[in-house]
Structure 1
Amino acid sequence: MARLWSILIGYALGNLLGAMLLGRFVFHQDPTKVGSGNPGTANIGAVFGKKWGIITCLGDFLKTAVAMLLVANFFPGRVNLAYAGLGLILGHCFPILNKFKGGKGVAVAGLFALIYDFPAGIVTLLIALVLMIIMKNLTMPPLIFIFLFACYEMTKISEVGIILLVIGLIMVFKFRHDLRDFFAGKGKKVDVLYSIKKKLGIKVQ
């Protein structure tokens, strides 16, 4: 029963999409109908500016932290935290409040990993960051991160590893169009180092 409640708590809070709340109360536009159509950090940042992208991300971080805190207090246990993470991803990616049209879950998965197992989370996220810089791509690194994290946790608690693999498969489904473009050589290039240097005022060629 604790597992079910953990999923439900995660799902309920996962429904609160930062992008949709900003779209409704600040921009008065539907984020699913502008830019890439994805109600997430990247699209909000691209369409409305980086500041709003960051605010969107912080909103998704907040709901993740609250859900994990609630489950940790009412249903303590590593496995229950993992189920809360699954609920969060399901709620974020398939929110009933937004006709099941949600984001891709990258920010939610990232913070969940850090809360659940900080050392493993930070290592796998750093690997994803390095791959993002090398590949200049935003599709593969998040997926590699979640599957690396899942494989590691599988060696500790098999049930948690399976839950994380399910989370990874959900993210693969949400990234399916991006993956198709990536393997077709049409994926969007993002030069992270160039953006950082430009922001710091360092001359770039």
Structure 2
Amino acid sequence: MRNLALGIVDDDEGTLYTVKAMIETLGHKIYTTTDPEVALGWVKNKLIDILLVDYHMPVMSGLDVIRAARKLSEAVILLALTVEESPQVAHELLTVGADDFILKPLRLADFSARISLHAELLRYRRYENPEGIQKGLSENTTRRVYLLFLDGSAMTASEASEKSGLAYPTVYRYLEYLVKKGQLNRRSVAEDGRSGRPSVVYSCLPLQINLKKK
């Protein structure tokens, strides 16, 4: 993995210090700020590859920062930092343009794994296919399909097609893309009492935020 440039905007100086130390340990460049406008300037001027955004901020919310950053760039990776574990929050984040979310308090092993994963997505967006995530696919539909699984559901492509109202071939392509992206898991499940080909079921990966209702 090549060296990356990351930015973080958070109103907590302690979090900025912790993330700065983690990023430097991983060998990447890091910008830190408590000012959302400064962070958006990094995105606008293409100074960073990944932007980490605190969900709870007093002046400009994390949702607003992510929404504005996504309008400025389709390539930048947007990761939300949050203590929230509700499906509603996850839905809001992905709807406005977040690529993923990382739970606070941050742990180096999990944090490093998420950064490595999204470095691959960044390479594809920015260097292999700068005009789009994949020919014929869109970010909006990708998020729409991914949102189907945020309540912990596991389903086949046919079930996802029925639930989303999208055609089966369309849903299948997006599901496979999300598997490659690292945001969905794919496994084969034998149907009880039936012979032949097992069903392929998709679900969120364990590394994703825990969305089970408390």
Name the TM-score, length of structure 2 as normaliser: 0.30
Which of structures 1 and 2 has the bigger CA Rg?
A: 2
* More relative contact order, 1 or 2 (CA 8 Å, 6+ apart): 1
Structure having the higher strand fraction is 2
Structure having the higher helix fraction is 1
Name the TM-score, length of structure 1 as normaliser: 0.31
